[in-house]
Amino acid sequence: MNVEIRIQETPLDALSEVPPVYLGRPSVGGVVSFIGLMRDVNQDAHITKMVLEHYPGMTEKALAEIVAEAGERWDLAGVRVVHRVGELRPQDPIVLVAVASRHRGEAFRACEFIMDYLKTRAPFWKKEHTDAGAAHWVDARDSDTEAADTWHQTQGARSDRDDMPSAHPSTAGEAGST
């Protein structure tokens, strides 16, 4: 599995980050990417900027462990995680996760897994600044912890044929497939 993990202060160009995940890998049948953006509202406060900090070395190690676990659960050809730090403004891309696999089901599940674990296991700290001049550190969201916890209930499965993805644990029992 080809893996690239980067933490950067420079703007993130999502369109140029995705092709290296699959180019030169003709067995790849699907690529799933997620781009997280900075919002301008949090808990009814208008946010004008956010400063993202991380623990150098430790953050990259945590991200590498998350990606390695995804690679143990699913048959992946490539993964790229790029995360911004520093000062961000509303609509700035914060994070990109791109996952390539032979089949879309594995790519979808692995991408969601990586994001869910990134939100709860990677040491990033967010300080939001409001239009009223206030600044505060952002606490972890219960919904992020709950999303990550659902993956403890399922191990994901490698398979030679994964055209019809099984439901994510949080949607088990709902009608529909792809």
Between 24 and 157, whose confidence is greater?
A: 24
Look over the chain and give the mean of its residue pLDDT values, rounded to a whole number.
87
Closest to 141 (Cα-Cα) out of 115, 169, 120 = 120
> How many CB atoms are located within 10 Å of the residue 143 CB?
9
Q: Is the pLDDT of residue 176 over 60?
A: no
User: Could you report the per-residue pLDDT of 31-57, keeping only the tens digit for each?
Assistant: 999 999 999 988 788 999 999 999 999
Q: Which CATH class is domain 2-152?
A: alpha beta
User: Could you report the per-residue pLDDT of 113-157, keeping only the tens digit for each?
Assistant: 999 999 999 999 999 999 999 999 988 787 777 878 888 766 554
Cα–Cα separations (whole angstroms), residue 61 to 5, 8, 65, 126, 146: 9, 15, 6, 19, 23
CB burial readout 44-72, b (16+ within 10 A) else e? eeebebbebebeeeebbebbeebbebbbe
pLDDT at 154: 64
Residue 155 backbone phi and psi in degrees, to 5: -100, -10
Residue 2 forms beta bridges with which residues?
78
pLDDT at 177: 39
User: Could you report the per-residue pLDDT of 74-99, keeping only the tens digit for each?
Assistant: 999 999 999 999 999 999 999 999 99
**Signed CA dihedral, 143, 58, 101, 23: sign only:** positive
Q: Do the beta carbons of residue 51 and residue 127 sit within 8 Å?
A: yes
Q: Is the pLDDT of residue 169 over 90?
A: no
pLDDT at 140: 78
